[in-house]
Amino acid sequence: MQRPDVSAFYDARTGSLQYVVADPATKKCAIIDPVLDFDEKSGSTATRNADAILDHVAANGLTVEWILDTHPHADHFSAAQYLKSRTGAPTAIGEHVRDVQTIWKEIYNWPDFACDGSQWDRLFADGETFRIGELDVRVMHSPGHTLASITYVVGDAAFIHDTLFMPDSGSARADFPGGSAARLWNSIEAILTLPDETRLFTGHDYQPGGREALWQSTVAEQKARNPHVHGKSAEDFIKLREARDRTLPMPKLILHALQVNIRGGRLPEAETDGRCYLKIPLDALPGSIW
């Protein structure tokens, strides 16, 4: 089985994982789920995370072939457009991003917004394949956290985003608009049919108990040690996941981030003063935890 080189970049502000997956034979690589820095208190943006990835690419003599997102993120801005401007590499996401765009078009009251996925260079369908250098990549539609979520399977590595976290951290929430605990269970079950030795790279780590950040496990470890799947039925998981989600506040950046991320990581167009402005709809999401 092909074994890509995987480098992880942890953003402590959002608990997010960004990856560079490279073909050791050709030095071609893809960047997965890059973060554009945003400080909600000052409104400042920066490219520190993305520039660290570019520094890694340059230091290792890599060529970026793809800039990939697994889904439109609710807790950070995507740096896909910035990285495209620096590398020329095409951007891609799953084709069901169009369904997510349709939901958020209504929330933001954007009647003229194009919900056709044209904000990316490529939309992947379930089961579709492509290459990073000589590495074969297979796309798995993995909905539940969002309607658009996909997993990238690259040789013995799978980038599983917000499905399973590390075995001590359970699973991702499924209560965003369009989310579903039942669909998430089905997606997790599909991921766990991969070979036991498959390396799983998660999309977030929140360092439970103050431990160091972790992001890599295996299918075997998840099946044996993750309490959200070990010994659980679909009914058990759905009950557990929905009960947990009812206790969670919305991510602090969800209303900021989605208006950027359903546009492929593009910030709003600058207004006459040269500044970009975010639009925050009031009372748009239910279930606030006061």
Predicted pLDDT of residue 289: 58
Q: What does DSSP say about strands 157-161 and 199-202: parallel, antiparallel, or unpaired?
A: parallel
Q: Tell me whether residue 228 is in a domain.
A: yes
Predicted pLDDT of residue 286: 74
Q: How many domains does the chain have?
A: 1
Q: Tell me whether residue 22 is in a domain.
A: yes
State the Cα–Cα distance between residues 265 and 35, nearest whole angstrom.
Answer: 9
Q: Tell me whether residue 95 is in a domain.
A: yes
- Kindly state the tokens that stand for 263: 């546009």
Of 118, 126, 124, 100, the closest CA to residue 32 belongs to 124
pLDDT in tens, 201-245: 999 999 999 999 999 999 999 999 999 999 999 999 999 999 999
Residue 47: C-alpha distances to residues 35, 169, 197 (Å): 8, 29, 35
Q: Look up the CATH number of the domain holding residue 32.
A: 3.60.15.10
Three-class SS string for the chain? Answer: CCCCEEEEEEECCCCEEEEEEECCCCCEEEEECCEEEEECCCCEEECHHHHHHHHHHHHCCCEEEEEECCCCCCCCEECHHHHHHHHCCCEEEECCHHHHHHHHHHHCCCCCCCCCCCCCCEEECCCCEEEECCEEEEEEECCCCCCCCEEEEECCEEEEECCECCCCCCECCCCCCCCCHHHHHHHHHHHCCCCCCCEEEECECCCHHHCCCCCEEEHHHHHHHCCCCCCCCHHHHHHHHHHHHCCCCCCCCHHHHHHHHCCCCCCCCCCCCCCCCCCCCCCCCCCCCC
State the Cα–Cα distance between residues 138 and 222, nearest whole angstrom.
Answer: 21
Q: Tell me whether residue 276 is in a domain.
A: no
Predicted pLDDT of residue 290: 55
pLDDT in tens, 263-289: 999 999 999 999 999 999 999 987 665
pLDDT above 70 covers what percent of the chain? 99
Please state the rounded mean pLDDT for residues 247-268.
96
Q: Tell me whether residue 273 is in a domain.
A: no
pLDDT in tens, 100-128: 999 999 999 999 999 999 999 999 999 99
Starting from the edge strand earliest in sequence, which strands make up the sheet with 199-202, in order? Answer: 129-132, 135-141, 150-154, 157-161, 199-202, 216-218
Q: Tell me whether residue 77 is in a domain.
A: yes
Residue 231 structural domain: 5-261
Q: Tell me whether residue 271 is in a domain.
A: no
Q: Tell me whether residue 41 is in a domain.
A: yes
Please state the rounded mean pLDDT for residues 53-76.
98
**Residue in the structure block whose two tokens are 């993305």:** 50
